[in-house]
Homo-oligomer: A and B are copies of this chain.
Amino acid sequence: MVLIGTATEEKENFMPAAWASPLSFKPPLFGVAISPKRYTYNAILASEEFTVNYCTLEMADIVARTGEVSGRVVNKKEKFNIKTRRGEVVKAPVVEGCYAHLECKLKDYFEVGDHFLFVGEVLKFSHDLKDLKPLIYLWEDTYTTISDVRILKPREK
């Protein structure tokens, strides 16, 4: 799970997203599907920037809670005590405690059914994979992380 971070003149906001993926190496592009009902939809169109914050298992509560309320009516940063710093190359907030961060500038967006795919160019990428425990959404209200198993399948030369 990732938290999509946005900043407008009004407020910073955070939306959990599971429908998100890298899309391109050159240039480095990342896509996230967002419903036009979401506050984040308007925030990205207004600011043309967003961050992608890869959450850890410890953040299950923040992720679940931020998904229950809209940034239109709640200041999630204050309500959920989300620790952030400003991005290095974007104004959108970077969430502390995440194991990886992307800072993105909006490059394009496409209507796909009841969502829009926002495509961001990744201007900055940072990560810390030590003791990696990514938050994985399974199904209704249920989360997990990766196992300690490591399967190595080296490529045949």
Q: Chain A residues in contact with chain B, CB under 8 A?
A: 18-29, 31, 33, 57, 60-61, 63-65, 68, 108, 110, 112-115, 117, 119, 129, 132, 136, 138-139, 141-156
Contacts and interface: CB of A to CB of B under 8 A. Distances in A.
Contact of A143 (B115, B117, B142, B153): B153
Contacts of A18: 21
A64 B151 CA distance: 11
Copies per complex of this chain: 2
B114 A25 contact: yes
Contacts of A148: 144, 147
Contacts of A64: 153, 155
23 contacts: A21-B21, A22-B33, A24-B113, A24-B115, A26-B114, A27-B113, A29-B113, A31-B31, A31-B33, A31-B117, A57-B149, A60-B151, A108-B112, A110-B110, A141-B153, A141-B154, A142-B151, A142-B152, A143-B152, A145-B147, A145-B149, A147-B147, A147-B148
